[in-house]
Amino acid sequence: MPMTRPLISVSGLYKQYLVNVPVLKDLNFSIESGEFVAIMGHSGSGKSTLMNILGCLDTATAGHYYLQDRDTATLSSDELAMLRNQLIGFVFQGFNLLPRSSLLENIALPLLYAGKSKAERREKALLMLNRVGLAEFGERRPNQLSGGQQQRVAIARALVTDPKLILADEPTGNLDTQTSEDIMKIFQDMNEEQKITIILVTHEPDIAAHAKRMILVRDGQIESDQTT
């Protein structure tokens, strides 16, 4: 048992949408700060639901989810919004960029909700855009970029508030193999260099292979939990 408490601690977690049809059944696990975890499973296995709960987008029906020692069930929607803003960065399969806003505006948006000044927002957004290698495209709209480029913008947005945890839901699902490798490289780098905890949801074994720990979910339960 390490001296510090784990970043994520889940105990007896249940989730059901319909009565008597649980999607998640009695999940128990913890994730330490700095881990790179892949959550695998077929569609319908409940891995996306788990992901949404870990990301504080959804709440559990029963059981406890502690994020940095805070029981998320007791937090108000504003407190959850603050957690998502400051502690968590999301990367989605469909990129989820705002189509009407420029890349810089998209990246700066989390800082706006964090209450940062205009100058600070711009400076930080430029820095992040530069880091994902798209510095010259700052004023473009998302639909003027390729899928891989859009996903890099989404990663820049996720990282702009210096989160402890990145949740990536099928981040390479819409990308070709080469681009997928590039994106996964970025994840690996940030895990190794910045010690950011990464939770990756995927059903592709090659993608999951980049992670150091693999949790296999089947029918709402953990089937295996291996560290490679």
Partner 1 sequence: MIIGALLGEGWAAMLANRMRTLLTMLGMVFGVGAVIMMMAIGQGAELMVNESIASMGSNLFIVLSGSTSAGGIRQGSGTVPTLTLADAQAISELPEIAAVAPNISNAAQLIYAANNWSTQVSGTTPAVIDVRDWQVVAGEAFKDSDIRSATRVLLIGQTVVRNLFGDENPVGKIVRVKNSPFLVVGVLAQKGQSLDGRDQDDTVLVPITTAQRQLFGNQFPGMVRMIMVKAKSAEVMAKAEQEMNELLHTRHRIHADKDNDFTIRNLTAVAQAAASTTEAMSTMLGAIASVSLLVGGIGIMNIMLVSVTERTREIGIRMAIGAKNRDILLQFLFEAVMISLVGSFIGAALGVACAYFYSQINDTLVVVTLSSVLLAFGVAASVGVFFGFYPARKAANLKPIEALRFQ
Q: Which residues contact partner 1 (rule: CB under 8 A)? A: 52, 55, 57-58, 77-78, 81-82, 84-86, 90, 96-98, 100-101, 109-110, 112-115, 118, 157, 161
Phi, psi of 140 (to 5 degrees): -75, 165
Angle between helices 177-194 and 147-159 (to 10 degrees): 20
Question: Taking the CA of residue 151 as centre, how many other CA atoms within 13 Å lie in the half-sphere pointing to its CB?
Answer: 24
Residue 194, CA distances (Å) to 52, 155, 162 in order: 24, 14, 10
Nearer to partner 1, 33 or 101 (CB): 101
Instruction: For residue 139, give the 3-state DSSP assignment.
Output: coil
Q: How far is the CB of 226 from partner 1 (least distance, A)?
A: 29
Q: How far is the CB of 64 from partner 1 (least distance, A)?
A: 19
Angle between helices 77-86 and 103-113 (to 10 degrees): 130
Q: How far is the CB of 178 from partner 1 (least distance, A)?
A: 27
Q: How far is the CB of 39 from partner 1 (least distance, A)?
A: 17
Nearer to partner 1, 198 or 208 (CB): 198
Nearer to partner 1, 24 or 208 (CB): 24
CA 217 to the chain's CA centroid: 17
Residue indicated by tokens 């970025």: 186
Q: How far is the CB of 80 from partner 1 (least distance, A)?
A: 8
Nearer to partner 1, 59 or 188 (CB): 59
Nearer to partner 1, 48 or 180 (CB): 48
